[in-house]
Amino acid sequence: MKTYLSILIVIISFGTWACNNEGNTRSNTASKIINPNGDSELALLMRAMFDDGMDMKTAIEKGQHPSTKVDYAKIFTATATEPDKAASPEFKAFADVYLEQMKALENCTTEEAAPIFKTMVTSCMNCHAAMCPGPMVRIKKLY
Ligand code: HEC
């Protein structure tokens, strides 16, 4: 019963995870969270990026050219749960790398898609490792 409960808690917390739960102990930005109950634009975009990534992975596994349905350049303008974080030079640098990989993925041949896709997923992981470790377990599924 205990195990069942903790699994349930894990599942629930995944559904509502933003960065502010854990891995953010170096700052006390929790007090600055603008929208604690709703989801930020950036969180919604990230979820769409994850689903889109899953679709691209399936396409690549089928030997098809992956195509994206997400307006990923919005990563620069979407409002984040913690706006300070998304305004940082660190965030912009990681977002640039991610954007470059997405563009490469759109313009590559079907044969080149798998390794570029992997590099793109690594660009998600790198930003998350530095700024927002919570969702990394989930992002790993894209590999
Ligand atoms: C430039 C940094 C950066 C990059 C690159 C990045 N993320 Fe994120 N991600 C964030 C931040 C910051 C948040 C927290 C958003 C918020 O709460 O406003 C987040 C949140 C998330 C979440 C949790 C959303 C929720 O439900 O609250 C998921 C899932 C996620 N990202 C997946 C991805 C995937 C998949 C990629 C690559 C396709 C990616 N991220 C690339 C910074 C990044």
- Domain residue ranges in the chain: 2-142
Ligand 1 pocket: which of 128, 141, 143 to mutate (most atoms within 8 A of CB): 128
How many percent of the chain have pLDDT more than 90? Answer: 73
Calculate how far, in angstroms, residue 128's C-alpha sits from the geometric centre of ligand 1: 7
Q: What is the pLDDT of residue 17?
A: 54
In angstroms, what is the span from residue 124 Cα to ligand 1's centroid? 7
Position 18 scores a pLDDT of 65
Interior angle at CA 121, CA 117 and CA 127, nearest 5:
145
Backbone angles phi and psi of 39, in degrees to 5: -100, 135
On whether the pTM is more than 0.85, the answer is no
**Which atom of ligand 1 is least distant from the CA of 138?**
29
pLDDT digits (tens, 9 = 90+) for 64-116: 999 999 999 999 999 999 999 999 999 999 999 999 999 999 999 999 999 99
Q: How far is the CA of 29 from the centre of ligand 1 (A)?
A: 17
